[in-house]
Amino acid sequence: METSRIHKSLLNARVSLVFYLLTLLLSFFSRSIFLHYLGADFLGLTGTVSNLLGFLNLAEMGVGAAIGFMLYKPLFERNHQQIAEIVSLMGGLCRRIGYVVLAAGILLSAFLPLFFSKEAIPLGVIFTAYYAFLISSLIGYFINYREILLMADQRNYVVTAYFQTAGIAKVLLQMAIAFYFGSLYAWIVVELLFSVLLSLILNWKINKVYPWLHTDPKKGTQLFRQYPQAGEKIRQLFIHKISDFTLYSTRDMFIYAFTSLSMVAYYGNYMVIIWKLNQLMLTALGSIQAGIGNLVAENHLPKTIRVFWEIVALRYFSSAVFVFSVYHLIEPFIVLWIGTGYLLKKRVLFLILCNIFLMQVRGPAINFLQAYGLFADTMAPVTEALMNITISIGLGYRYGIEGVLLGSIASMLLIGCIWKPIYLFRKGFSQPVWNYWKETIKYLVLIGLSWWLGSYLLYLLQLPDPATSLSRWIFYAMALVTAYSLLLGTFFYTLKGSRDLIQRVILYFNKRGLWKE
């Protein structure tokens, strides 16, 4: 069981790595073509419309997370009947949510002319883009609801492979359309058509992997009464969903409100790099969520706590290397990619990376809380949402994009990085919270020390300017990432969680005959 869990987690991580590297490379070329042939305003429009529809997706109310939690135990016990019932419940709930999203989406579209009144983009383009993205969203509710089983069963690699393959093909076709025709409408139509195609392929694959799975969403109401815990968890998760929305989906809207669509696009140039890399880490590390659920279902607390600290070590290491590397590498890359005119202020970059770091290191506590089904702390997300909105508006009005970023930093630090571990150790592990803080402080001190030492070494070495050529940038990046990883890894090896993680990886590969003692 342990080896199978690790094997699936590593398979998920490998597939995620391959596809995200491909999509990341493609993003650099596609972004420059879209900027040149379609314009910064159009890219800002698509990003803003996506975030508007993200507000409607609040109607999902955390159904996916609640149903995923309910699937861990029957998957562990291989109870096919119960699995089919829970997925049918998911289908029934998703249909109801889909109708709500459709009605709200039509209503919201009436305000699009008002929302984009100061932009020169034709209303026809705005409405076409909006409804294309809305229909793509609805497909997930009415057709793709069975995808939850792949996620809970640690088969994220199936979803990743199909989604990313379709995504690559879609972007290539959109690049050709932008380059040869410059048609905004054709670009939008391709976006919609690939959503439909992906849905057909994904459901074909689910039928192949789970031939025994027979679901009936029409029984959703009956099954909802049969599984009363679903309603309780969904109600709790709805509040958490609001907090997630304010952290992720409102940021671009606030930036647009206090700046312009062009600034959203400039910010997007950074985020297309940073977010792709961050999503790579989130997907690779998030692929262990189902494994954590399976582990908690075993009800072996000492093993669970040991794995928790191994994941903490992995999160802090990967996050620190990511933030340090991006801080030193992204500006010369932007210069080489699209020119100096698209650079943001250094302090804006620093605030972006603070957001990313906090988002990453809060992950282990949230993963384990979800595995335990601990969502009852509903005042925490309410506080987080109010903090984020209040600070983002107050400071955004005065300082622009920097104020908006400070809002999410403050709320994420208080709730995600301070409260969530407290709640986990009290309600999940039943352990003193000080056990968490004394280890976490060690990681933060070592990261701070390695950052200072790494920056000082870069200053002493005086390497060639990476902004002068791509070959110099690649050399600079390889040297920087390798050196800092070795430096931080040496520091982290002094901590037990890191040593346990390394031993687990070595043991796994030895068992598979890939490494020899």
Contact 321, 357 (CB under 8 A): no
Angstrom distance (rounded) from CA 488 to CA 485: 5
Q: What angle is formed at CA 229 by the lines to CA 226 and CA 230, rounded to 5 degrees?
A: 80
Give me the pLDDT at residue 516, please: 42
Give me the pLDDT at residue 5, please: 58
Total number of residues shown for the chain: 517
Concatenating the DSSP letter of every residue in 19-68 gives HHHHHHHHHHHHHHHHHHHT-HHHHHHHHHHHHHHHHHGGGGTTHHHHHH
Angstrom distance (rounded) from CA 361 to CA 348: 20
376 Cβ partners below 8 Å, 6+ apart? 236
Give me the pLDDT at residue 373, please: 84
Q: Which two tokens stand for residue 353?
A: 């990376």
Long-range contacts: 402-408, Cβ < 8 Å, 24+? 402/345, 402/347, 402/348, 402/351, 403/258, 404/251, 404/254, 404/255, 404/258, 405/251, 405/348, 405/351, 405/352, 405/354, 405/355, 406/351, 407/254, 408/247, 408/251, 408/355
Give me the pLDDT at residue 61, please: 65
The DSSP 8-state label assigned to residue 214 in this structure reads -
343 Cβ partners below 8 Å, 6+ apart? 331, 334, 335
pTM: 0.75
Angstrom distance (rounded) from CA 414 to CA 377: 14
Residue 343 belongs to what H/E stretch?
none
Angstrom distance (rounded) from CA 31 to CA 337: 10
Angstrom distance (rounded) from CA 360 to CA 324: 14
Give me the pLDDT at residue 515, please: 43
Radius of gyration of the chain (CA): 23
Question: Could you state, in chain order, the average pLDDT of each consecutive group of 10 residues for the chain (517 residues)?
Answer: 59 72 78 82 80 69 77 82 86 86 89 79 87 89 82 74 83 90 89 89 85 84 80 81 73 76 77 78 67 78 91 93 93 84 85 92 90 88 89 88 90 92 93 92 95 88 81 90 93 92 80 49
Q: What are the CA-CA distances from residue 261 to residues 47, 105, 115, 252 (Å)?
A: 9, 22, 12, 9
Nearest to 44 by CA among 255, 212, 244: 255
The DSSP 8-state label assigned to residue 374 in this structure reads -
Nearest to 112 by CA among 90, 83, 134, 144: 134
Handedness of CA 25, 27, 32, 34 (dihedral sign): positive
Angstrom distance (rounded) from CA 175 to CA 187: 8
Nearest to 256 by CA among 412, 46, 55, 105: 46
